Amino acid sequence: MRYFSWENGKYLRILGLFLLFFCGAALGTGAALVAAPRLYQRPLTPVPGTPAALKPPAGQPVQFTDSSPVVTIAKQVGPTVVGVSAMTGRNFTGEGGIKQGSGVIFDGANGYIVTNNHVIADAERITVSLDHDQVYPATVVGTDERSDLAVLQIKGANLPQARLGDSSTVQVGETVVAIGNPLGRAFARSVTVGVISALNREVTVPGPRGVEITLRTLQTDAPINPGNSGGALVNLRGEVIGINSVKIAASGVEGMGFAIPINDVRPIIDQILTRGYVTHPFLGVYNLQDITPEMARWYNIPEGVYIGGVFNDGPAARAGVKVGDVIVAVDNNRVADYADIQSIINKKAPGDRVILTVVRLAGKKQFDVAVTLGEMPSK
């Protein structure tokens, strides 16, 4: 009997090749398992030609490199923010009491500066500082107590000029930069960074003559301190979107600053420059109360703004509006609160006509009323 034949040899050679491939694959897999962890722990070799600029400097966060928009804003917008010093009188030592604030140059060719009215109210003498060496006397072009804004003018050559933005496009959470002179010239052009915390915040503050004024503002958590009033709130495009005006300073309260939106500032500036004073449209109603959806359901009344008082012989009274009416729309725009009404009215001038859609609760009758706006009384 023969144990090996051609066929048997062929089968043995096939079996041998199979075992050879199997052993090779097993050895390769084992080597890969051993080497792979070590390879993953090593830094990869840079690809030839990769720009070194793509790798951030070691230990230096990207947002604080020279490419940061905040650095650019500080360099380009910072010089347009000035210090404002207002001497308000004499104290018992014969020295003047001085209020410190900030301002923004919005017209470098003519030396026009916007600031807060409360910064310069009742001042006998005002100076504007661009830096420690450049200090100019300033004249008051015009003021408006109700908006807490004022325009100053200085005579200087080659003055920088800020670029004004569009506050209607501002979004909650958007990064902003505040620039001003907190605590005076010693800390001139301090830069702080934060976000827009809220839009259309109504803040009521005492006016210079003790009369409360209500401002519609942008809320920000960018640190604002005394002396920042009148300074710039800037977006990351380097555009001024607000004039810093108010901070809630109370124990345990942080990060609540407020700026007047630049779209509300523009018409005030325009009126001051064209006529020297500001007129505000007057509807002639007061003691207004917002009717929320919950209140509307509870009392079976329409959502809108309840009129608690009407000025005798005022624009609304002459048009037939009465106490107890509810304003539900202005010029066919639904209104949910007083801010909605003001945003429409403030875009108009005395003498303009608005259409109020009101519901008279007695009888639940809805109708339109044409009101010709008057001029807000000065006092």
163: enclosing H helix or E strand: none
CA 43 to chain centre: 44
End-to-end CA separation in angstroms for the chain: 131
- Residue 229 appears among annotated catalytic residues: yes
Residues paired with residue 108 on neighbouring β-strands, in sequence order: none
357 to 280, 284, 371: CA distances (angstroms): 22, 16, 11
CA 226, 228, 230 angle in degrees (round to 5)? 125
Cα–Cα nearest to 366, from 330, 322, 328: 328
Cα–Cα nearest to 355, from 343, 337, 339, 373: 373
Catalytic-role residue among 85, 102, 129, 148: 148
Cα–Cα nearest to 306, from 319, 294, 318, 296: 296
CA 163, 169, 171 angle in degrees (round to 5)? 115
Long-range Cβ pairs for the range 67-72 (8 Å, 24+): 69/236, 69/238, 70/177, 70/191, 70/193, 72/238
Catalytic-role residue among 118, 129, 264, 325: 118
Q: Computed over its alpha carbons, how large is the radius of gyration of the chain?
A: 34
List phi, psi (to 5°) of 113. -130, 135
Buried b (16+ CB within 10 A) or exposed e, 176-202: bbbbbbbebbeebbbbbbbebbeeebe
CA distance 340 to 291: 13
- Residue 66 appears among annotated catalytic residues: no
The two three-digit tokens of residue 113, written as one number: 């500066």
CA distance 54 to 284: 62
* Residues with catalytic function: 118, 148, 229
